[in-house]
Amino acid sequence: MYENIKICPGYQFAGISCGLKAGGALDLALLLSDCPAVAAAVFTQNQFPAAPVIWGRKQIAEGNNLRAALINSGNANACTGHQGEVDVATVAEVLAAALQLNPVDIFISSTGVIGEPFPVTTVLKGIESLVDNLAEKITGFRALESAARAIMTTDKSPKIVGIEVETSQGRVTLTGIAKGAGMIHPDMATMLAYILTDVKIDRLIWQEMLHRVVNKSFNRISVDGDMSTNDTVLALANGVSGCGLTTSSDLEILEAALLQVAHELAVMIVKDGEGATKAVEIKVVGASGVEAAEKICRSVANSALVKTAFFGQDANWGRIIAAVGYAGVELDPELVNISFDQVRVVSGGVRDPHYREEDGSAVLRQPEFSVKIDLQSGEDEFTLLTSDLTHDYISINADYRS
Which tens digits make up the pLDDT trace of 289-303?
999 999 999 999 989
Helices (H), 217-356: 248-271, 290-301, 304-311, 317-325
Q: Look at residue 401 and tell me whether its pLDDT is greater than 50.
A: no
pLDDT of residue 399: 55
Residue 22: DSSP 8-state: G
Instruction: Give the residue among 373, 323, 378 at the shortest CA–CA distance from 347.
Output: 373
For residue 347, the model assigns a pLDDT of 97
What is the band of 183 on the pLDDT scale with cuts at 50, 70, 90? very low
Under DSSP, the state recorded for 368 is E
pLDDT digits (tens, 9 = 90+) for 50-104: 999 999 999 999 999 999 999 999 999 999 999 999 999 999 999 999 999 999 9
Cα–Cα dist 62/42, whole Å: 14
**Given a cut of 50, is residue 150 above it in pLDDT?**
yes
Which amino acid would we find at residue 150?
A
pLDDT for 398: 59
CB 143 within 8 A of CB 13: yes
395 band by pLDDT with thresholds 50, 70 and 90: low
pLDDT at 400: 47
Name the residues annotated as catalytic. Answer: 190
What is the assigned CATH class of domain 11-271? alpha beta
What pLDDT band is residue 388 in, cutting at 50, 70 and 90?
confident
Contact present, 8 and 174 (Cβ < 8 Å)? yes
Q: Residue 187: what pLDDT?
A: 47
Kindly report, residue by residue over 41-56, the tens digit of the pLDDT.
999 888 889 999 999 9
The mean-pLDDT minimum among 181-185, 248-252, 272-276 falls in 181-185
Distance CA 104, CA 87 (A): 14
Q: Is the pLDDT of residue 357 over 90?
A: yes
What CATH architecture applies to the domain 279-398?
A: Roll (3.10)
164 torsion bin: left (phi>0), alpha (psi -120 to 50), beta (else): beta
**Residue 85 confidence (pLDDT):** 97
Given this chain, do its domains 11-271 and 279-398 carry the same CATH topology? Answer: no
Of 88-102, 166-180, 233-247, 266-280, the range with the lowest mean pLDDT is 266-280
Tell me the pLDDT of the chain averaged across its residues: 91
pLDDT in tens, 116-143: 999 999 999 999 999 988 877 767 899 9
**Least-confidence region, from 9-23, 72-86, 126-140, 342-356:** 126-140
Listed by start position, the domains of the chain span: 11-271, 279-398
